[in-house]
Homo-oligomer: A and B are copies of this chain.
Amino acid sequence: MQTGTAVISSASPLVRKLRSVITPSAEEEEVLAKLPMQVASFGADQNIVREGDRPSRSFVVLEGFAITYSIIGDGKRQIMAFHIAGDVPDLQSLHLEILDNSVGTITPCKVGFVQHDVLWAICQQYPRIAAALWRETLIDAAIFRRWLTSVGRREAFGRVAHLLCETVTRLRSIGLAEDHSCDFPITQAEIGDALGLSVVHVNRTLQDIREAGLIVLRSGKLQVLDWQGLKAAGDFDPTYLHLKNREAAA
């Protein structure tokens, strides 16, 4: 894998993501690699787009972690997705004029804005890329469904375990995890807002998971000690991620 890693890391996040979603041709890869985008950097905890916006462009996450979230009436926050390199969190705005949720950073991020008309043009010229983009939004929806299942019907232990499994698997699929270790810059408060739990209870649950010998999580690094055990605890089956490179899910 050593030599392979160099090749993979030379590809743009968008191309790496594409490879996890379809099997692109060289030409298709090149189109995405040369996609005209306006790169911008954001600090941690900043909004990139807000609920109610009517964007004329979407953006790719190039580096860092971002979240899709919404604030409800009484001020509580629900995080609906964690976004990593290669994700296009507001791709939906290509078809839905008004954004129904906000997207913000939780770590410093580099993102690339792409005009919608550029995307439209590419979709017309490269139907397989159009299909891949549609496919990506469908996978996002599948992830939402799984989260809903987790939050609706699993207890805290299983919920957290499932989130950890999913995140590691997704990071692996784009080459950002070795074995079952990865950067994990998500705070306990953010885990809570994602899973419908209080910070306090996330903290206690994380301790339980540690004591069960399943993980080590310290200073933003996650190491899974017992992958099978964690999968079992979270009732995790990666089918719903519809990854092309199945090994990532092993």
Q: How far is the CA of A101 from the CA of B52 in the complex (A)?
A: 31
Contact B95 A151 (CB under 8 A): no
Given A134-B134, A135-B95, check contact A196 B141 (CB 8 Å).
Answer: no
Using Cβ atoms and an 8 Å threshold, which residues of chain B touch A195?
Answer: 152
Using Cβ atoms and an 8 Å threshold, which residues of chain B touch A138?
Answer: 92, 95-96, 137
Give the number of residues in A that approach B within 8 Å (Cβ atoms).
Answer: 45
Q: Does A221 contact B (CB under 8 A)?
A: no
Q: Does A70 contact B (CB under 8 A)?
A: yes
Mask, A91-124, CB within 8 Å of B = 1, is 0100111101100000000000000000000001
What's the minimum C-beta distance from A242 to chain B, rounded to whole angstroms? 5
A194 closest partner in B (C-beta): B152
Q: Does A240 contact B (CB under 8 A)?
A: yes
Q: Does A131 contact B (CB under 8 A)?
A: yes
Contact B141 A137 (CB under 8 A): yes
Q: Which residues of A contact B (CB under 8 A)?
A: 52, 68, 70, 72-73, 76-78, 80, 92, 95-98, 100-101, 124, 127, 131, 134-135, 137-142, 144-149, 151-154, 193-196, 235, 239-240, 242
